[in-house]
Amino acid sequence: MLKKLTLALFFFIFSFLLVKPVFAAEPVFLQFFWASGCPHCAKEEVFLDTLKDKYPQLEISNYEISHDQTNAFLLQTIGKKLSADVSGVPFTVIGNQYVSGFESNETTGKTIEAMILSATPPPATVSVPIFGRLNPAKLSLPVLTFIIALLDGFNPCAMWVLLFLISLLLGLKDRKRMWLLGTSFIFASAFVYFLFLTAWLNLFLFLGFIPLIRLIIGLLALGAAGYYLRDYWVNRSGGCQVMADSKRQQIFVRLQAITQKKQLALALLGIVLLAFAVNLVELICSAGLPAIFTQVLSMSKLSPWQYYAYLLFYILIFMLDDLIIFVVAMVTLKAVGVESKYSRFSHLVGGILMLIIGLLLIFKPELLMFG
């Protein structure tokens, strides 16, 4: 069951990475009035043909007026409506805007393009709980948040602590105590990680858009990319390389002592303190993902509550694998975990993603300025 859920999560990632939804734009109607034998009309006709690929939403209607009295009458009607002189052609109309004559692509052509852009309606937005109104065609920031948080969540430096805890909890006879201690560890981990994210975000918001800071974070992202890709290639086991086995044994002993305390309050306090300590180590293993994410987030034009909504969304996705593993273990009373090959695979995906973000932060930061 857990293997299927993990595969589903990774499939969800690549659905966002490889598939770009197509959203149909509202059409823009252009009326082109021309006459046979008119050289300027012929030049504009060639120009308008070049716009069809550039502006897929553009729909062009051609009206020849020298041989078609109906079209000539339509031109006169439009001229009265717009209070425009329609004695000469070509005559181009988009909505309530018009241009008479055609000199060249660089002059009149630019005017026509400006009319098209001004007539193009803004993309439809949808109201989403927590995130407010979003443009469906530009969901880059929520998608980026989801991907980075999910990759950050597949962190072997924290996963093994949870697995140790689960193995100890399964030895308890009190199921209520099992659930309480386990959920306390998970929520304490989420809270301390939220504090770290908040600190990074407020630091970047305070510093503002300083090129040097952006360059440093971009280099950090490239360093993270190198770390992840190297770890994918070298660390075939997919396990945590930050903490030695002796340290793990010490933490296991502490976990065992905490879970066996008779006083529930002392056990809960010990679990919370341990969660704080473990997440300090996890920040080292995450290779700067929280700093990179909050730098990108700070570059977006959002309201204060939306910044924190994205942080909460990040935490929710970040803790998703822990929640699934814990709930499955408590329900089935069997210790489960994410296989090391999935953690290793997440390093490959994370390395590629960090490489892209690092290059964008250094050379094309405007592409990361959402909102």
Q: Which of 40-49, 209-218, 345-354 has the weakest average pLDDT?
A: 345-354
Report whether 291 contacts 213 (CB < 8 A): no
Q: Would strands 28-34 and 58-64 be described as parallel, antiparallel, or unpaired?
A: parallel
Hey, what amino acid is at 159?
M
- What SS3 class is residue 133? strand
* Lookup result for tokens 């044994």: 249
Q: Give me the pLDDT at residue 6, please.
A: 47
Reported as a pLDDT band with limits 50, 70 and 90, residue 123 is low
pLDDT beyond 50 at 281: yes
pLDDT beyond 70 at 22: no
Phi-psi label, residue 120: left if phi above 0, alpha if psi -120 to 50, beta otherwise: beta
pLDDT beyond 50 at 129: no
Percent of the chain surpassing pLDDT 70: 71
Q: Give me the pLDDT at residue 284, please.
A: 60
pLDDT beyond 50 at 358: yes
Domains parsed from the chain with CATH numbers: 28-119 (3.40.30.10), 135-368 (no CATH)
Residue of 368 and 215 predicted with greater confidence: 215
Mean pLDDT of 259-263: 74
* Lookup result for tokens 């909102």: 371
Q: Give me the pLDDT at residue 225, please.
A: 79
pLDDT beyond 80 at 145: yes
CA angle 356, 360, 365 (to 5 degrees): 155
- What SS3 class is residue 63? strand
Of 100, 276, 307, give the one whose Cα is nearest residue 202: 307
pTM greater than the 0.75 cutoff: no
Report whether 231 contacts 347 (CB < 8 A): yes
pLDDT beyond 50 at 233: yes
Reported as a pLDDT band with limits 50, 70 and 90, residue 32 is very high
Q: Give me the pLDDT at residue 341, please.
A: 55
pLDDT beyond 70 at 243: no
Separation CA 70–CA 92 (nearest Å): 17
Separation CA 259–CA 174 (nearest Å): 11
Percent of the chain surpassing pLDDT 90: 26
pLDDT beyond 70 at 10: no
Q: Give me the pLDDT at residue 130, please.
A: 45
Among 14-28, 127-141, 344-358, the range with the most confident prediction by mean pLDDT is 344-358
Q: Give me the pLDDT at residue 30, please.
A: 96
pLDDT beyond 90 at 236: no
Q: Give me the pLDDT at residue 2, please.
A: 45
Mean pLDDT of 81-101: 94
CB atoms closer than 10 angstroms to residue 288: 18
Mean pLDDT of 114-124: 76
Mean pLDDT of 11-31: 56
